[in-house]
Amino acid sequence: MLKKVSIAVFVSGGGTNLQALIDAQKNGILKSGNISIVISSNPAAYALKRAEQNGIPTYTVEKKQFQSQIDFENEISKILSSFYVDLIVLAGFMCILSEDFTSKYPKQIVNIHPSLIPSFCGKGYYGLRVHEAALKRGVKITGATVHFVNEIPDGGEIIYQKAVKIKKNDTPEILQKRVMEQAEQKILPLAVEKVCANIIKGRKNK
């Protein structure tokens, strides 16, 4: 059997998407990859607890502790190489990664975004702001997208999408929760498995 893809999950907050990946690994939905490490930009992220409870090594790399974006990213790259990471999953990671960094990992970084790209995405659309914008515009359907990360914010190739209906009395908070539960946590494990299986296929053909 070919070696599993080594996955690093980048987090900053609650880690429900990380949990979905851990659960998928346990129940065999994620079978071509293995979460080798969790990197958090926030020392207080609950996601770190979720990783520890599941025996996954964690690192905290706080941007404010570095003089520059380059130093911050170099520290991350150092950790990634020590765990032979093949795939990075941004699961609620609240830091921007520079083009210098993303270009080092072509088709090796995936992100989950809480809307149906190309709606409500790109610069400034993160967290609750995405859902506020969807409600303000009055769309009837929103959802989530898993995509590859390139130099354009939320602009890389789309891997998976799932739609979620907007309800009459939705607030940004209610909508965010429904999108997370009905879309993000469902499609992220499926998309990560798909990408890992392709990486393994690529290795076989070498």
- Residues noted as catalytic: 113
What's the CA gap between 81 and 75, in Å, rounded? 10
Question: Which one of residues 17, 36, 42, 145 is an interface residue with ligand GRF (CB under 6 A)?
Answer: 17
Which residues, numbered 63-92, are part of the site for ligand GRF (CB under 6 A)?
91-92
Q: Does 117 bind ligand GRF (CB under 6 A)?
A: no
Closest-by-Cβ residue to ligand GRF is: 92
Question: Which one of residues 24, 184, 191, 196 is an interface residue with ligand GRF (CB under 6 A)?
Answer: 184
Question: Which one of residues 37, 112, 133, 192 is an interface residue with ligand GRF (CB under 6 A)?
Answer: 112
Question: Which one of residues 9, 13, 39, 42 is an interface residue with ligand GRF (CB under 6 A)?
Answer: 13
Q: Does 153 bind ligand GRF (CB under 6 A)?
A: no
- Using the minimum distance from each CB to ligand GRF, give the nearer residue, 38 or 80: 38
Instruction: Catalog residues that contact ligand GRF under the rule CB under 6 A.
Output: 11, 13-18, 47, 91-92, 112, 114, 126-127, 180, 184
